[in-house]
Amino acid sequence: MSTFSFKLPDLGEGIVESEIVAWHIAVGDEVSQDQHIADVQTDKAVIEATSPISGTVVKLGCQAGEVLAVGSELVLFDTQGTASATATSTADTPAASAKPQAAATPQPAAADKQAVSPSATTESSASQQNDSAILTSPSVRLRARQHNIDLHSISGSGPKGRINHSDLDRLIHEPKANSATAASTKTTASNALPNTPKKSYPLTGTRRIIAKKLQQAAQQIPHYSYVEEVDVSQLEQLRQQLNQQHSHHKSKLTLLPFIIQALLKSLPQFPHCNAHFNNDSNEVTEYQAVHMGIATMTDQGLMVPVIEDCQSLDMWECAARIEQLADAARNHQIKPSQLSGSTITLSSLGKLGGIAATPIINAPETCIIAINKIQRRPVVVDEAIAIRSIMNLSASFDHRIVDGYDGASLVQAIKKLLEQPEMLINP
């Protein structure tokens, strides 16, 4: 038997390991060159892995949901088409290079694997093979798993019956299905809630990446937060006026483009707030260009699309880029290159903004600015009580790089510009 070991490739941008989200092949399958064999989750996005050769699958490098190091064996192929009858998946015999990651897998899962009968294994392999025949993308498969949807039950609206996100949306948001689910849940809760066992599950995919990055940032960066209230009454009037005057623009101005403009005018005084800090080399890199990360909530978790070179864009261009990137992230069309390279991050909590927040820095950056919701409040203006539109800014800084005085001064500079918005639109 002539074999070929396909290693997990280097996917670039310093990625040293990746999670195998789903397999689309099983041991014993005949695979053709360039066939979609697995969905691989990196720190940035889900990527389709394709076979570099044609052959028979002898062994899989891990189970779906496990993590492999770059360079570890992903698939072992028999290139003569005579797979060994005794070939087994590395669920029973992990690859040596994958042992550190496999050790972190919860033991109950390992026990479950050992308890699976040969007939169950055959059924699982057949199910994987049937799933691989469905025309759809990795992101659709991921959403279907998250919502416990059987893709076999969906008639795709795309070419050749391809299942798109819109097909899932119709099923997920169908009123009758939701109401029936709610009624079922209500009945179950009233009858069986006292005996309902606790639910435990491993973090996988994007959720695992988010957890890992935030834990590292919280542990490695000595955060401090600074909160200031801003009177945005004039800014709101100007924003509405500009939207009316420029109604021909496809994108409407939200608060974010104004915040970005205020940051662009303020950051030259505080270059260490538009910077990266390298823990390993103990080195700060300040950037002249501003690549703004926009924290965006999606059904897969938090993503941070990046608007590159904000200093070269006006407010309308910023508004358009924000809308394009947010839509791409929420519709699972974002590219890995659009999720990296930010030098400072802006987070908008929208209607759920609350009074204040303590945002976690998007490492290796040194600063993050969060916008809280606008509220109509009574304030003192010229020794008289007036009702004004007030919004809080919540900022967090890396105290190793940004002193408290500098962090407060940056927020005060932003506040001044937002309270005198004509300074933002005039050179």
Active site residues per annotation? 399, 403
Cα Rg of the chain, angstroms: 26
Q: How many residues in total does the chain contain?
A: 427
> Mapped to the 3 state alphabet, what secondary structure does the chain carry?
CCEEEEECCCCCCCCCEEEEEEECCCCCCEECCCCEEEEEECCCCEEEEECCCCEEEEEECCCCCCEEECCCEEEEEECCCCCCCCCCCCCCCCCHHHHHHHHCCCHHHHHHHHHCCHHHHHHHHHHHHHHHCCCCCHHHHHHHHHCCCCHHHCCCCCHHHCCCHHHHHHHHCCHHHHHHHHHHHHHHHHHHHHHCCCCCCCCCHHHHHHHHHHHHHHHHCCEEEEEEEEECHHHHHHHHHHHHHCCCCCCCCCHHHHHHHHHHHHHHHCHHHCEEEECCCCEEEECCCCCEEEEEEECCEEECCEECCHHHCCHHHHHHHHHHHHHHHHCCCCCHHHHCCCCEEEEECHHHCCCCCCCCCCCCECEEEEEEEEEEEEEEECCEEEEEEEEEEEEEEECCCCCHHHHHHHHHHHHHHHHCCHHHHCC
How far does CA 102 lie from the centroid of its chain?
24
Find out whether 45 and 334 touch, Cβ atoms under 8 Å. Answer: yes
